[in-house]
Amino acid sequence: MTGLVTYGLRAFGLKAALVLAGLASAPAQAQQTDILALGDSLTQGYGLIEQEGFVPQLREWLAERGHDVRVVNAGVSGDTTAGGLSRVEWSLTPEIDAMIVALGGNDLLRGIAPEVARANLDGILQVAAERDLAVLLIGLTAPGNYGAAYKRDFDAMYPELAEEYDAVYLDDFFAGLRGPDGGMPDAARFMQPDGIHPDATGVARIVETVGPKVEELIERADTQAGSDGG
């Protein structure tokens, strides 16, 4: 009996050692990436039930592609770039690894000067840079009704700031609704009755375009985290 007990203990010890060795050699599980989506009603999901909004659809799109990502909805309906700047500091809680910035639509609707909007976006990107956070900056295209100079300056601020801060960049939040020639002849089919906010199908098309950029953002966030840790 004593021999059997001794054998059993040895066998148990061997199994435990093998289990521990297996755990030690197993690849580390990828950590969750926490992303703040700082935006306005387009980010918030205005006029849609929760699961149809931009952030929930983006979460689902990323999950389907194997990403362990938490996207925090920091979209506030009616917010301008000034509003985003005023709340970015406290919105960036310690666990946030990266940020999506999608602001400027309400600046356009109010005719706010491009240089003012640019200064606000610059301030938001400065905060992210100070915290060493990867950023995806999503632009918008101004209509022509404010004049050629306004359109030129507004459209230019996004790519110029993205280059200055080395941000991941998408030129237009509505890029997914554009046709092959860059026009939007059928965009009305994907909009709510107000003609400003996309419906659920429109959001899905937008996410298909934004999603790959967010994957690039995740990769950059992971790289920066590895550099900080190393």
CATH number at residue 66: 3.40.50.1110
Is 5 a domain residue?
no
Q: CA dist 199 to 192, 195, 209, Å?
A: 5, 10, 16
Q: Would residue 162 count as lying in a domain?
A: yes
Query: pLDDT at residue 163 above 50?
Result: yes
Of 21-25, 40-44, 214-218, least confident by mean pLDDT is: 21-25
Within a domain: 49: yes
Q: Residue 156 falls within a domain, yes or no?
A: yes
Report the catalytic residues: 41, 194, 197
Structural domain range at position 188: 33-229
Q: Specify the higher pLDDT residue, 187 or 191.
A: 191
Domain assignment present for 4: no
pLDDT at 72 over 90: yes
pTM of the model: 0.84
pLDDT for res 181: 63
Mean pLDDT of all residues belonging to the chain? 87
Using an 8 Å Cβ cutoff, are 117 and 160 in contact?
Answer: no
Q: At what angle do helices 148-164 and 114-130 cross, to 10 degrees?
A: 10
In a domain, 148, yes or no: yes
Q: With 80 as the cut, is the pLDDT of residue 68 above it?
A: yes
Task: Report residue 197's pLDDT band, with 50, 70 and 90 as the boundaries.
Answer: very high
Number of domains in the chain: 1
Is 59 inside a domain boundary?
A: yes
- Does residue 29 register a pLDDT over 90? no
First-to-last alpha carbon distance for the chain, in angstroms, is 53
- On whether residue 11 sits in a domain, the answer given is no
Choice between 223 and 47, residue whose per-residue pLDDT is larger: 47
